[in-house]
Amino acid sequence: MLPERSLTAIRCAFLDFVDDPFYVAESESVRYFADGLLVLEEGKVKALGDYQQLKDQYSEVAIVAHPDRLIMPGFVDTHIHFPQTEMIAAYGEQLLEWLNQYAFPTERKFKDKAYAQKIAAFFLEELLRNGTTTALVFAAVYPESVDAFFEEASRRNLRMIAGKVMMDRNAPDFLSDTAETSYQDSKRLIEKWHKHGRLLYAVTPRFAITSTDEQLRLAGKLLEEFPDVYLHTHLSENMDEVAWVKELFPRCTGYLDVYDQAGLVGDRSVFAHGVQLTDQEFQRLSEANAAIAFCPTSNLFLGSGLFRIEQAKCVEHPVKLGLGTDVGGGTSFSMLKTAHEAYKVAQLRRQTLSPFKALFLATLGGARALSLGDTIGNFDVGKEADFIVLDVRSTPLMAVRNPVANAISLADLADQVFSLVIMGDDRAICATYIAGELAYEKSSSPDF
C-alpha cells in the first residue's frame, strides 16, 4: 500500500468527552487513552484510539510523540471582550461604575483600525498561549474593530465568533451608534464575515440598558434575515443593572423578557452571566434552547454574585452552559483558572463541580453552547483538529503533586486533572494546534 501522504499522527495520552457528565455517568462521558494515537487528515480528525490497536493500520504514517503530556481538545471561551484586554484588573468598582470608569474610555481607542489590529493580534496570541482555540468575542461599537479582529483571526485560520457592539443610549456619545446605523453596519459585517473561512458573526447588542426598543427590534430583524448568525449579549449580571432594566422597560415582565419581546431568545443566543436570573427565566432559556456563558472570575471580581450552576444544569429544564473568561471584567485568559473559580463558586453555594464536569464545560460543553458541537469540542472523527498539549507537571509544585505524568485509571486521572484545574494556568499549555497545525509552542518546558 502506498503511504497516505496527507495523514499525520500524534502519540500521547488523550482526554476528551463524548457526552455530558452532568447527565450521564462520568465513566460514560469521559474518553481516555493513556497511550493513544490521534490521526489527522487535512486539519480534521481521521481516527483516535489506543496506540497498540491503531499502529498497524497507520504504520506508514509519520508519528510525532509527546511523552509525559496530555492532549485535550482546545478550550472554548464562550464570552470575552477583545477591546478590554489592556484594562484587565481595573480596581475597585462594580459593574455599572466599572463600565463608565474603565471599559468605555478604553473601548474608544478602537475606532483606530491600526490600534484595533495591534490589540486583536495580541489578544489572539494570548488565547492560543492559554490553550483557547475558539471564543465568542465582543468587539467595540466601531465596525473597524470588527474588521481588525476578523482579519487577524482569518490570518491564523481560527474558528472565532464576533460582532460589532450595538449601543444607542446610556453610553458616552463617542461610543454610541443609532438603531439604524447599528443595523446597517451589522448587516454589512455579516455579509462580509459570516462563514468567511472558519469565522462566524454574532449580532451583539451590549445589554438592555444601552439599547432602545428600536435597536433591539432591529437586532431581532437581523436574526430573522440571517437565521444562522448568533445573538450575543449580557443578561442579569448585577442587581443594580437588573433594577435599572426594570425602570427602562416597565412593560416587560423581567430582564430576559426584554430580549424575548425583541425576538432575541433562540437556540443560537448566548447570554453572558445570568447570575440574577429567576427560576422562570432559567426555564424560558431551557425552552428556547439558548445558552449561558458562566463567567466566574468576572462575577467574583466585579462582586456580581454566585451563579447557580445546578439550576442551569438541572435535568428538568437543562440550559446549555459554557465557561467564559469575560476579560477585562474577568481576571484571566486562562480557562483553567476560570474552571478553578467555577469550582470555588460551587463550593460557596454548597454545591460541587467535579474536574471532569469543569473540563467538559471548558471544551465540548462550550462547543455545544455555541452550537458547534458537531464541529469542534472533542476528537470525534471528522471534527476540526484544534487541540492542546498539556503538562500536568508544569511547575515545581505541580510536579510534586503529580509524581507520575500519565494516569492509568480513571480515578487517578480525575485526581490529576483536578490538580490541573486548581493549579494550572498558561504554563501548563505546552502547545496549541489549529486545524492540525502547530500554532503556539511554549518556549521552554523544564522537567522537574
Residues that bind ligand GUN (CB under 6 A): 81, 95, 99, 103, 206-207, 234, 237, 298, 326, 329
Q: Which CB, 247 or 316, lies closer to ligand GUN?
A: 247
Q: Cβ-closest residue to ligand GUN? A: 329
Least distance CB 238 / ligand GUN (angstroms) = 8
How many CB atoms sit inside 10 A of residue 195's CB? 11
Q: Does 152 bind Zn ion (CB under 5 A)?
A: no
DSSP state string for 409-428: SHHHHHHHHHHHHHH-SGGG
How many CB atoms sit inside 10 A of residue 297's CB? 26
Q: Which does 179 bind (CB under 5 to 8 A by kind): ligand GUN, Zn ion, none?
A: none
Phi and psi at 178, nearest 5°, equal -125, 165
Q: Which CB, 19 or 126, lies closer to ligand GUN?
A: 126
| Calpha distance 375→200 (Å, rounded) | 13
Least distance CB 328 / Zn ion (angstroms) = 9
Interface residues for Zn ion in 255-274 (CB under 5 A)?
272
Q: Which CB, 99 or 312, lies closer to ligand GUN?
A: 99
Please tell me the count of residues contacting Zn ion according to CB under 5 A: 2
Least distance CB 227 / ligand GUN (angstroms) = 26
Q: Which does 99 bind (CB under 5 to 8 A by kind): Zn ion, ligand GUN, none?
A: ligand GUN
Is residue 369 classed as helix, strand or coil in its secondary structure? helix
For residue 440, what are the β-bridge partners?
Answer: 432
| Calpha distance 153→148 (Å, rounded) | 9
Interface residues for Zn ion in 317-346 (CB under 5 A)?
326
Is residue 201 classed as helix, strand or coil in its secondary structure? strand
Q: Which CB, 272 or 362, lies closer to Zn ion?
A: 272
Binding mask 271-310 for Zn ion (x = CB under 5 A): -x--------------------------------------
Q: Which does 356 bind (CB under 5 to 8 A by kind): ligand GUN, Zn ion, none?
A: none
Q: Which does 206 bind (CB under 5 to 8 A by kind): ligand GUN, Zn ion, none?
A: ligand GUN
Least distance CB 230 / ligand GUN (angstroms) = 17
Least distance CB 241 / ligand GUN (angstroms) = 7
| Calpha distance 230→162 (Å, rounded) | 9
Q: Which CB, 81 or 194, lies closer to ligand GUN?
A: 81
Least distance CB 99 / ligand GUN (angstroms) = 6
Q: Does 237 bind Zn ion (CB under 5 A)?
A: no
Is residue 5 classed as helix, strand or coil in its secondary structure? coil
Cβ contact 38:10 at 8 Å: yes
Interface residues for Zn ion in 68-97 (CB under 5 A)?
none
Cβ contact 353:393 at 8 Å: no
Return the closest-CA partner of residue 140 out of 168, 170, 114, 116.
116
Phi and psi at 11, nearest 5°, equal -105, 125
Q: How many CA atoms lie within 13 A of 26 on its CB side?
A: 13
Which grid coordinates belong to 264?
432575541
Cβ contact 296:275 at 8 Å: no
Q: Which residues bind Zn ion (CB under 5 A)?
A: 272, 326
